[in-house]
Amino acid sequence: MIDAAVSSLARGTLLSTPDGQIAVEDLNPGMMVNTASGPPAQVQWIGSHCYAEGTAPNTETRAPLYRVCAGAFGHNAPAHDLVLAHAAAVLLRTPACRKLIGQDMGFAPITAFEDSYNVTRILPAGEMTVYNIALRNHEAVIANGLPIETFHPCRNASHLLNQDGLRELARLFPHLSARNGFGPQRVAHLSLSETRSLGLF
């Protein structure tokens, strides 16, 4: 769960806020960010993980990043190149989602879009830090113009079916209730195969 909780936004990602764009590493709990659903929301938690320089930079043991080219998902989506971590999920809005998950929108894993052109898998040789944030509800924040999912334990539901998983959740988020502190899941997730079946790229 720790890996999923923080592996979304690479250092330097600009998030839209009521006060303008702010780099993810400069956010603090209590600050407001704009959301894809409309009204701004308060940051409840921010977590990060640093991969030190020299830790297996050229092997599969090191989690990759994904460079998303400007305009890969449409005009200004993103507005300029964006680097995401391997657990990031993009909010898609298309009627094609309804046949798959019963909604006209869904969170799709960034890994499903890797095509070496619009989305490229990269393995930085130097130190890298990745982040994620949690809001009061299940949301998408605007990262360089692209809606990206905030952390919600619904993606780790099977892990939370035992007491060890619940204790880990409480340790990571001591200020929130494991039962209702994140709000309900608002948008369903698309699998890798479901996302690829949409044929967006």
d(CA 82, CA 62): 20
pLDDT tens digits for the chain (201 residues)?
455 555 789 999 999 999 999 999 999 999 999 999 889 999 988 888 887 665 444 444 567 899 999 999 999 999 999 999 989 999 999 999 999 999 999 999 999 999 999 999 998 777 888 999 989 888 999 999 999 999 877 655 444 445 565 565 556 666 555 445 566 788 999 999 999 999 887
Q: 167 in a domain, yes or no?
A: yes
Q: Residue 158's pLDDT is what?
A: 43
User: Which pTM value belongs to this model?
Assistant: 0.83
Q: 1 in a domain, yes or no?
A: no
Q: 101 in a domain, yes or no?
A: yes
Angle 152-82-130 from CA coordinates, rounded to 5°: 50
Structural domains in the chain (count): 1
Q: Residue 154's pLDDT is what?
A: 61
Domain range for 52: 8-198
Residue 20 one-letter amino acid: G
CATH assignment at residue 176: 2.170.16.10
Q: 168 in a domain, yes or no?
A: yes
124, burial (CB in 10 Å: exposed 0-12, middle 13-18, buried 19+) = middle
Q: 146 in a domain, yes or no?
A: yes
Q: 2 in a domain, yes or no?
A: no
Q: 3 in a domain, yes or no?
A: no
